[in-house]
Every structure is written in structure tokens, then in C-alpha cells.
Amino acid sequence: MQILTGRRALGAVVVLTSAALLTACSAGSSSGGASAGRTDVVVGLTGEPTNLDFTTTSGSAIPQLLMNNVYEGLVTIDQEGEVQPQLAEKWEINGDRTVYTFTLHDGVTFSDGSPFTADDVVASIDRVQDDWTLSLKSKMDVVESAEAVSDTEVAVTLTHPSNAWLFDMGTSVGAMFPDDLSVDLATEAVGTGPYTVEEVATGEHITLAAREDYWGETPAITDVTVRYFADANAQANAVRAGDIDMAYNMQAPDLLAGLEQDQDLQVIDGTSTGEVLLALNNARPPFDDLNVRRAIMYAIDREAVLDTAWAGHGELIGSMVPPTDPYYQDLTGAYPYDPDRARELLAEAGAEDLSITFDVPTRPYAEAVAQVVVSQLAEVGVDAKIVPAEFPAVWLDKVFTEHDYEMSVILHTEARDMLTVFGDPDYYIGYDNPELGQVAEKADEGSPDQYVAGMQEVSRMIVDDAASDPLFLFPNTVVADAALSGIAANATTESMDLTGLRWSDR
């Protein structure tokens, strides 16, 4: 999630310095010149990781940078949202769908030089269950045991058949780590991927370097500098000026029209799994009242939010399920814009003069959305007071960890995260519906058709309870030098996959 979210050889410590910034800046866009033969690229982002450890640090910024580039899993999720082999060259599933036997690629090594074996797979799965501190660890609850059959074969036994588990193994919870991991993951990364983390200059950039001993195909781009911008307009202006080669997940929609007319640039609107969620704290007043929550739903004109705050880029979805998920259904009509109905529900709840605190993270999309939402709520008599929350530090602590808020807005980017957000009453949303878990568990154990039907029922339950309001599906907008190809524009997981990038003549 943008609740937030962010390999290298064991001996190469991540350096917290800004010494290479000038070098990084000079490696920017070709600005229309010949680019073939270049092996470096500069990428611009707006969400900087607080560290390199996505096993204990919430958010998408860390896995966005590291997954597929530095860390790999047994499987990966392709641009169409389908499961594909990665470290596992193949797998078999037994008759009752409870045992997965993976055959691993031979000759794979971690960036510290140690071999990747089935023991590492077992340790990585166990580590999620025992050591991870994030709610995402629940995706591994279905695993009963993992056993190394040989160095290149591992058997994973589930407590029951699961339609979701293999897909989840293609996300950050499926990342593979060395069995004898002894480094501080906050500052060092040891993975099997094609890149290592060479340098971290806090507040400025992170550099990646291609591994000469990578087990797979060596990427065409050998040196990657990821620059972080606090301001989305600065990111957009940097790609226009040629200071960076690619602005990934660009968040300045008002500047897109001008960028689209630049012959030296390409603009790609990819899809994503990121839902912009108007989060309501179900565990405390006033949003422990169903009528108040439903009133908020009717008070919001989501199309106006999308058009005003994000220039129409994105998609209305009506639930925490993007169209790329197999159980997507169109629920956008569940709460049509109806201010009169909102006022009626507030009156029934005795909340005609409602005043709420609106904790808004300092992110471009959140600040833009908040202004529209506040204006619309005012029309039905709700006084929402914006309280800026520095992101990630303040927002993560106050809202996500301490649950000390009434209403907020945040971008959830993890794939298939509906149950993560609404399936745990201790999660920051505070939604508690025991029936939901029963329906979800039955769906996960059922046939593929039963899985789809069951998860659609779960989605309808959440929407009917107005647990929170998914305002729209966030676009993954990429603006890049026209000579840069191999851009993975669809964010089907948290990962920003850089491995296919290459330069070509124009």
C-alpha cells in the first residue's frame, strides 16, 4: 500500500551518503539524441522507502523497488496478472490440492555468493510465519509445513486447498532469503535477483547495479539510479527536462497534457492494484455507526473526485477489487451520489452537525482528494477538518499503527488485499464481521468457480456495511524518454520491474 511501501552482495554495505547524486543527475534523458548502447537509466519516484526491510516495515515503497529487481520468489506475477515461474521452473499439485511440490532452477545463487536451495525456501516461508510483523504475514497462515525434499525440490503442505496462496507467493511475502540470514535487512539486501543495492542516499536516491553472476538473463540496463522527489511536479519537470529518463507512477495529472505533446517523451497509462481508499475508523465514533458510514458514502460524488482531483485518470470500481482480479464485479452503483439520502441517514443517527478530523498524508493524490471530499461533505452538513500527517513517518505511526484517527485517505497498492484490509478487526480500519472470515475461508477452499462466487459475496458484504469508501482505482502513469523500451507499466503487484528496460534508436 502506499500506506507506504519500498540485492546486493553481503559484503557491500548500503552507504547512507549523497556523494553520487551529481553522477546520477548527469545520466539523465537523451532528450531526443541517440540512446542505443546506453546501459544506465535514471528513474524518478515520489515515495521514498524509510529502509530496505519490507518484512517489518509497512507500505509499498520498499517492495516496489526491490521485488523482481533484487529479491525474487518461486513465482512471479506477469503484466496480465497471471502467475508465472521464477525461481521454480515448475510445480505439481497433488489430488486434493494441499501439497505443492516445486522444482527449483539449478545453479541459482544469492548476491552474497551462497547457493539458493530448498532449505532457503523452507526458511523464507517459516520466517514469514515467525518473524514478519506485518499483517501481510497472514497470507502464509494456510501453510502447514514446508520441507526440503532435495536441494532443488521443496514440498509445501497447506492446511486446506487454497485458491489464493500461489498468487500470494508472487508478491512480497513470497520473497526468498538465505537460510542463514544474518544481516540487518533495514540496511542490507541479499536476494537472488539481477540487481544489488549499491548505495542509499537518504532523501535523494538509491542506486542498483547489475550482478555479473546472476543466474538468469543479464538485464540490458546495468546501472539504475532511482531518484526520489518530495513533490510530484518536480518529478514531472525532471523528466521533461531530461534530468531523469522515466517518471514512474507519475502523480501530477494536471501536467500530463503538456507532457503528451512532447515528441521526446512517451506517456503510458498502465493499470494497477492500487485503490484510493477513504478510510473510516469503524472501531470508534462516529464511524462505529452504520448509518453515519452510509451517509458518507452517499455524500461522495466519486466521479467528481476522480475528475477534479486526478484529471479523470483512473477508474471507478466501487469495491477493494480491481478489474484484473478474477472476482471483480461492478459495484459502483451501490452508493450513488445522493446528498439528500446522506442528510436523512445523518439525521437518523442523530449526527446532523457532525464534525470529524480528517488525517491526510502528505502525498499528492491524498491532498488533492481531501480537498474535494471536504467540500462535498460540507454540502451535507459534515465539517471535516484536515490535519496534515507527514508521510510516511507520522501517518504510519498515528493512523496505521495507533489507529488514532477518525477518517483518512490512503492508496492501498498490495495485490488482492481486500481481506488484509477488512478481514482483521485489529487492522487500522477496525472492521469486525466474523461472518466475512467464514465466507472467505470457504471460498478459498472451494473450486475456482466457488472461489469467485465466495469472494464476490465477501466484497458485497463489505460494501453493504460501508466499511470504507474505495474512491477509485489509481492509474500507474509512466512518462519516459521515447527511446526507452521494455517498460512494465502495469503494476499488478507492488513491484516496479526494471529488468526489461533497454535503450533503442529512434
DSSP, residue by residue, 252-321:
-GGGHHHHHT-TTEEEEEE-BS-EEEEEE-TTSTTTTSHHHHHHHHHH--HHHHHHHHHTT-SB--SSS-
Question: Which residues are within 8 A (CB) of 10 and not within 5 positions of it... i.e. 6 or more apart?
Answer: 110, 111, 112, 113, 183, 188, 190
CA atoms in the 13 A half-sphere facing the CB of 112: 16
Rg for the chain, CA atoms, rounded? 23
Instruction: Reply yes or no on whether the pLDDT at 261 is more than 60.
Output: yes
Confidence of residue 2 (pLDDT cuts 50, 70, 90): very low
Distances (CA, A) of 343 to 295, 355, 378: 7, 14, 11
Cell representation of residue 89: 521452473
Confidence of residue 257 (pLDDT cuts 50, 70, 90): confident
Instruction: Reply yes or no on whether the pLDDT at 24 is more than 90.
Output: no
DSSP 3-state of 171: coil
Instruction: Reply yes or no on whether the pLDDT at 9 is more than 80.
Output: no
Residue 24 in contact with residue 225, Cβ under 8 Å?
A: yes
Tell the burial category of 449 from Cβ atoms under 10 Å away from its Cβ (0-12, 13-18, 19+).
exposed
Mean pLDDT of 281-297: 98
Residue 6 in contact with residue 50, Cβ under 8 Å?
A: yes
Q: What is the pLDDT of residue 364?
A: 87
Instruction: Reply yes or no on whether the pLDDT at 127 is more than 60.
Output: yes
Cell representation of residue 88: 521454480
Q: What is the pLDDT of residue 506?
A: 61
Question: Which residues are within 8 A (CB) of 199 and not within 5 positions of it... i.e. 6 or more apart?
Answer: 14, 15, 17, 20, 205, 206, 207
Q: What is the pLDDT of residue 129?
A: 97
d(CA 408, CA 431): 15
Q: How far apart, in Å, do the first and last CA atoms of the chain sit? A: 36
Residue 114's identity, in one-letter code, is S
Instruction: Reply yes or no on whether the pLDDT at 6 is more than 60.
Output: no
Over the chain, what is the mean pLDDT? 92
Q: What is the pLDDT of residue 15?
A: 32
The separation between CA 166 and the C-alpha centre of its own chain, rounded to angstroms, equals 18
d(CA 480, CA 393): 30
Mean pLDDT of 309-332: 95
d(CA 266, CA 498): 17
Residue 306 sits at φ, ψ, to 5 deg, of -65, -45
DSSP conformational letter for 116:
P
Residue 215 in contact with residue 202, Cβ under 8 Å?
A: no
The separation between CA 233 and the C-alpha centre of its own chain, rounded to angstroms, equals 22
Whether residue 253 has a cis bond before it, omega within 30° of 0: no
% of the chain at pLDDT higher than 90:
87
**Other C-beta atoms lying within 10 Å of the C-beta of residue 434:** 7
- Residue among 306, 331, 297 at smallest CA distance from 317: 331
DSSP conformational letter for 135:
G
Distances (CA, A) of 320 to 172, 414, 474: 19, 11, 12
Mean pLDDT of 106-119: 97
Cell representation of residue 127: 520466517
Q: At what angle do helices 364-378 and 302-310 cross, to 10 degrees?
A: 140
Mean pLDDT of 474-499: 96
pLDDT in tens, 42-63: 999 998 999 999 999 988 899 9
Mean pLDDT of 415-439: 96
Mean pLDDT of 366-390: 97
DSSP 3-state of 109: strand
Whether residue 475 has a cis bond before it, omega within 30° of 0: no
Q: At what angle do helices 290-299 and 339-348 cross, to 10 degrees?
A: 160
Mean pLDDT of 61-80: 97
Mean pLDDT of 276-293: 98
Residue 113's identity, in one-letter code, is G
d(CA 472, CA 456): 18
Question: Which residues are within 8 A (CB) of 365 and not within 5 positions of it... i.e. 6 or more apart?
Answer: 251, 276, 309, 310, 411, 474
The sign one gets for the Cα dihedral 475, 479, 485, 486 is negative
Whose grid coordinates read 462535498?
376
d(CA 44, CA 246): 6
d(CA 197, CA 480): 23
d(CA 448, CA 82): 15
**Other C-beta atoms lying within 10 Å of the C-beta of residue 98:** 17
Instruction: Reply yes or no on whether the pLDDT at 34 is more than 80.
Output: no
